[in-house]
Amino acid sequence: MGVEAIGDLFFRSRDPGALKRWYQERLGVGAGLAAPGAREAEPWVWMARGGPLVFEPFAETSDYFPADRRHMLNLRVTGLDALIADLGAHGVAVETRAEWDSPEAGRFARVHDPENNPVELWEPPAPPSAEAVAQGH
């Protein structure tokens, strides 16, 4: 079919400049920035690193994220514990729950941006070691 990935994410904001700065400063996401392991940033583009992306509509009645929101941004991260500590040090409330985490899916945390949009932070499980693969695990 030719589609390779999501190319953009656009959403409305009461104060686009302030919200853009929050995402850049708190999460390292936004124009002119690059994720670790991605190619060099470009002025108008955030250079993401390739990997899994879940694209899934949820039922209107889902309680997976706040009912008054039509979307929840999920960001794939590395070093979730360090990111949680940094966000907390900057006054960002971070929610974690043991039931969200599993060896198969990885680890999760949730924050809200300054306009109360839900943002899920997802650290996928580590790939199996070469030794585990060799042993068939």
Domain ranges within the chain, ordered by starting residue? 14-50, 65-137
Question: What is the share, in percent, of the chain residues with pLDDT greater than 70?
Answer: 92
Q: How many CB atoms lie within 10 A of CB 75?
A: 17
pLDDT beneath 50: ranges in the chain:
none
Contact 11, 24 (CB under 8 A): no
pLDDT value, residue 14: 95
Separation CA 78–CA 34 (nearest Å): 14
The domain made up of 65-137 has a fold known as 2,3-Dihydroxybiphenyl 1,2-Dioxygenase; domain 1 (3.10.180)
pLDDT value, residue 103: 92
3-state secondary structure of 94: coil
Strand order of the β-sheet with 73-76 is: 73-76, 118-123, 107-112
pTM: 0.84
pLDDT value, residue 135: 67
Query: Per the structure block, which two tokens stand in for 16?
Result: 């686009």
Query: Per the structure block, which two tokens stand in for 65?
Result: 């994220």
Contact 33, 47 (CB under 8 A): yes
